[in-house]
Chain A
């Protein structure tokens, strides 16, 4: 497995590299109608839909395998523990982490970033230290670091991007100085789709001894990730963007980093021994998993990764790229539509504005046509400020989308333009 982002395979197949009809039949929700029209679900960057094998796995877990984990000797507790820990091995495989204990379950990307901020940032950063983030971050990779700045007197430095939404790597290099202590960057921009060259960016930080967290929320669903090849110190993702459950995600951290960090939450399961004088923390990964976790979520995440592996991450990337290219070409035939985010390396995200029409009106009318898109600032207000728009409309594709759904989107936009003409 290789980690160089593979969003732009040289071949962009016109026909899906898999049996698309069969894949779609795995997703019962794709069959619903909205306002009497077939649903075209193009809001996958916000949350992707769940296939039947994953739904079934949640049900079978609850029906036959559930108990609390790590705590009892009875049959069900052991079954549940095996399912929970078995899923961890799948996450390890998915990210190609060296060790299973480097995978910490979290409620999602947001919690993973906060865990690193609390466990690493609060322990190792202090007054005057600098943290580098990019202009393209989701709020969840800005606000925790700002909180740290407020508490410790650190300073946030921002890597700018150009008019295409491509990060300025020269500017990035220049941001480093003797006070730089941490880099937190997104692998793929949720608002624009830009795929950042994180591998080179990590190498640049490491050359200066600075650790790097990569927000993989938008990359993990579309790119075969290899954390060893990237050499990132931390990587995080959310299960729900991968067709898995909400409230579930994972943090990968290099064992040496996780070991020197402070725990995030105190409670049961994260200790070796407790007396009122002293508590000794459990080894990884339990040190970071206080309390009864989302066991069913972890089990479902495991089933999700199995499902994606069966479809194939490379085929997923290839088909999504075809959808993006087709949609981009169609959009270029639409007058008065501006695509925001035109980086050469993009995941299947199309942010745009329709001239003279507010994104919320576009979204409401597209909904009428059965097309689900996201409108707003996409929790990335600095991106909106950079491109001087209050909001955008965003269509984001998953491997189960079809060219016909792109046509449905384009027809919907034409209808918007007619109404507002």
Chain B
């Protein structure tokens, strides 16, 4: 694929001006995500109002793909229910790993489908998925997520319950 297709203006823009940057003072859930292979390191914090994500923020050091993915994720999930967001997490992961063809199969990804191109760049798939993986860990009250080892998002099961 052409990297222009991946590094589209939206992604470059979110990289330059990430939305919802920072940490929430009164987060009900938070998690730290690490991709030890490339050093991407992000923090996601969120406030749940009942079943709904009322606020969410992230910060960290990462490549453009990871940062834009996190930025667009936070913009997208505000106001959604945990169930809706978990569905998005699954769809995003399936898109990035090539299991979901956004052009042909129905999905809820909308503008997030700009990340579909990473499926052709195996070394970058984890960069795009890390924020989503970290969000999932935050919901599960896990304090950290990693793209490697038993937390590898490609492994069958990654949920490890641990209360915050």
Contact = CB atoms under 8 A, between A and B. Distances in A.
Contact of A376 (B38, B65, B121, B124): B38
| Interface bin, chain B | 20 to 34
B39 A420 contact: no
Interface in A325-382: 357-361, 364-365, 367-368, 375-377
Given A360-B38, A420-B64, A35 B2 contact: yes
B103 interface: no
B63 interface: yes
Most buried by B among A367, A368, A376, A420: A368
Contacts of A364: 3, 6-7, 121, 123-124
Contact of B64 (A35, A358, A390, A391): A358
B87 interface: no
A419 interface: yes
A390 B12 contact: no
Interface string A29-42: 00000010000000
Given A376-B38, A419-B7, A368 B2 contact: yes
Contacts of A420: 12, 15-16, 64
A360 B124 contact: yes
Given A35-B2, A360-B124, A390 B61 contact: yes
Contacts of A367: 3
A368 B3 contact: yes
Given A364-B121, A419-B7, A357 B64 contact: yes
B105 to A, nearest CB: 26
Contacts, number: 46
B61 A361 contact: no
Contacts of B7: 361, 364-365, 419
Interface in A221-278: none
Nearest to A358: B63
Given A361-B64, A361-B65, A364-B124, A377 B12 contact: no
Contacts of A377: 39
Nearest to B15: A420
Contacts of B2: 35, 368
A176 B127 CA distance: 44
Contacts of A35: 2
Interface in B1-48: 2-4, 6-7, 12, 15-16, 37-39, 41
Most buried by A among B4, B38, B127: B38
A171 B31 CA distance: 42
Contact of A360 (B12, B16, B41, B63): B63
B141 interface: no
B66 to A, nearest CB: 8
Contacts of B64: 357-358, 361, 420
B62 interface: yes
A391 B37 CA distance: 10
Contacts of A365: 3, 7
A185 to B, nearest CB: 26
Nearest to B16: A420
Interface string A139-161: 00000000000000000000000
Most buried by B among A359, A360, A367, A391: A360
Nearest to A362: B63
Nearest to A377: B39
A283 to B, nearest CB: 44
Interface string A393-421: 00000000000000000000000000110
Contacts of B16: 420
Contacts of A357: 64
A374 to B, nearest CB: 11
B146 to A, nearest CB: 15
Most buried by B among A35, A358, A376, A420: A358
A390 B16 CA distance: 19
Given A357-B64, A364-B6, A390-B39, 15 more contacts: A35-B2, A358-B64, A360-B38, A360-B63, A360-B65, A360-B124, A360-B127, A361-B63, A364-B7, A364-B121, A365-B3, A365-B7, A367-B3, A368-B4, A376-B39
19 contacts: A35-B2, A357-B64, A358-B62, A358-B63, A359-B63, A360-B65, A360-B124, A361-B7, A361-B63, A364-B124, A365-B3, A375-B38, A376-B37, A376-B39, A390-B39, A390-B41, A391-B39, A419-B7, A420-B64
Sort A-B residue pairs by CB-CB distance and give the 4 closest, nearest first: A390-B39, A358-B63, A368-B3, A360-B63
